[in-house]
Amino acid sequence: MDEKDVESSTDGLNGGPVRAVTRGAAADGSEVQTDVPALLPFYDVDAGSHKEPPGAFPFTRGIYPDMYRRRRWTMRQYSGFGTAHETNQRFHFLLAQGQTGLSTAFDLPTQMGYDSDNPRARGEVGRVGVAIDSLADMETLLEGIPLDRVSTSMTINATASSLLLLYQLVGEKREIAPASLNGTVQNDILKEYAARGTYIYPPRPSMRLVTDLMSYATMEIPNWNTISISGYHMREAGSTAVQEVAFTLADAIAYVSAAVEAGLEVDHFAPRLSFFFNAHSNFLEEVAKFRAARQLWATIMRERFQARNSKSWLMRFHTQTAGSTLTAQQPLNNVVRVAIQALSAVLGGTQSLHTNGFDEALSLPSQEAATLALRTQQIIAGETGVPEVADPLGGSYLIEHLTDQIADQASQLIERIDEMGGAVMAIESGFMQAQIEETAYQYQRAVDRGERQVVGVNVFHQGESGPVEFIRSNPELEQAQCDRLQELRRTRDSDAVSRALWRLEESCRSGDNVMYPLKAALGCYATIGEVSDTMRRVFGTFDSREPA
């Protein structure tokens, strides 16, 4: 998610008029402006407790007065597979189809800080995302992408610092001003311990890397979103909607507290915080969940952290439809699931959205599936009329009740985590993990017993309608990536790399901000594995089987 995703409008503030226009693209690429139906920008809420208009504290009804009437959410399809060259081709294809932002998936070795030729990477290179070993790969990944006009989200955590710096280095090589770089790096390591597992270092040095990145980006890349605090993966692991909100906000509280303790002013960095949520299948609950999360975060920032800049109160979030709900059985049913989930995100006020491909229970999304997923968003944006009113479901008795219920229950769970000493302590004690595991277990038992229906899985069985074409991994890809990496090591300035890695290690030991020596090392083509191994020597690694 980026600054363009969350651009605010002065229209409608203090009772002023709202421009009733929509913008689209003509066949020749020019902008088309047309009148929208004669609807008010929002409708007063007579029922329920959320009577403040959209754009007013605590932002239950939306963070901007006019929401999508001025500008649609960013359509940001998640892409990454194989080599940097292959993913670059998919990026260009999706942009040509009308995608408005990039979102990058990295393979497991890149996420875990291993080079492609490391024995631990064998069999995983390019499988679940793109393989990025060095600045050379990042240059290929972004070839032909106008970085000063297209924003990029990178789903990366343990190695987030390295990937952000590689992105900045590519921009510098093109002489693009740092302030023109726009995007988001996920950089949310706490949820890795709680739900996902792609961590490297123990929680406390990992938190140092998070705050080092936040401090660096505030000074050096001012329009970059420095963290995307994620509930998505907790929901994928089995959490409830209430747990997703509570655990996400508890993690966010920990990040803000750590940044303040590191000497950062809350109103300097808080406007660049963003969030990442799941759009699951319980349609009405999901709409209410988004509203409740916004309300809680605004209150936390204003009252707990004494933020005075109103932008610090805003919960800006990206949404992805629920991968865990997709089924390999009758995969075309997933088209319907994704459309319903995407609509809940729009009705809930998301700033950017990824819609899953119908074939993702079988493989990485094919080009056909990725295109249809994008078209799903475009149909919601252009044909349903939903974006023409902010908070269209506000005032519904059920939505108002569910919003209050989720907010109350999530607040109680956050208080419980506070009593433990905060999110880091709750993770180190195993509390969050145990809560998620228990709800995942109970959900699966309900499916197995038939108490919870999954169409095509435990009800409405039928013969498959026909084969689905899906992407198969190329066994030659891994060797080609390793060959390129070895050639890079042969041709780079090895002495410069060694000196830069020594300076990085000294910085890790001294407590200085690691981003500056890390950038220097990556700039002379040190690899992701080399810089990560340097930090492993100082910080150690985390083993969930051992006491924290």
Q: What pLDDT does residue 135 have?
A: 98
Q: Is 161 in contact with 213 (CB distance < 8 Å)? A: yes
CA 518 to chain centre: 24
What distance in Å separates the CA atoms of residue 490 and residue 118, rounded to the nearest whole number? 16
Q: What pLDDT does residue 100 have?
A: 85
Residue identified by tokens 């594995």 is 529
Predicted model pTM? 0.88
What distance in Å separates the CA atoms of residue 310 and residue 325, rounded to the nearest whole number? 36
Q: What pLDDT does residue 51 have?
A: 79
Task: Walk along the chain (548 residues) and give the pLDDT tens digit of each residue.
Answer: 444 444 333 333 333 333 333 444 444 555 555 554 567 787 876 656 677 999 999 999 999 999 999 899 999 888 898 999 999 999 999 999 998 889 999 999 999 999 999 999 999 999 989 999 999 999 999 999 999 999 999 999 999 999 999 999 999 999 999 999 999 999 999 999 999 899 999 999 999 999 999 999 999 999 999 999 999 999 999 999 999 999 999 999 999 999 999 999 999 999 999 999 999 999 999 999 999 999 999 999 999 999 999 999 999 999 999 999 999 999 999 999 999 999 999 999 999 999 999 999 998 888 899 999 999 999 999 999 999 999 999 999 999 999 999 999 999 999 999 999 999 999 999 999 999 999 999 999 999 999 999 999 999 987 655 556 666 667 789 999 999 999 999 999 999 999 999 999 999 999 899 999 999 999 999 999 999 999 999 999 998 766 44
| Axis crossing angle, helix 367-383 with helix 333-348, rounded to the nearest 10 | 40
DSSP annotation string for 179-196: GG--EEE----HHIIIII
Cβ-in-10-Å burial (0-12, 13-18, 19+) of 405 comes to middle
DSSP annotation string for 471-506: ----TTHHHHHHHHHHHHHHHS-HHHHHHHHHHHHH
Indicate the helix (H) or strand (E) that contains 94: helix 84-96
CATH superfamily of 3-7+72-420: Methylmalonyl-CoA mutase (3.20.20.240)
In a 13 Å sphere around the CA of 218, the CA atoms on its Cβ side amount to: 20
What distance in Å separates the CA atoms of residue 234 and residue 195, rounded to the nearest whole number? 5
Q: What pLDDT does residue 545 have?
A: 65
Q: What is the dihedral of CA 17, 56, 76, 334, to 10 degrees?
A: -110
Task: Give start and end residues of each alpha helix (H) in 277-383.
Answer: 283-299, 333-348, 367-383
Q: Is 185 in contact with 227 (CB distance < 8 Å)? A: yes
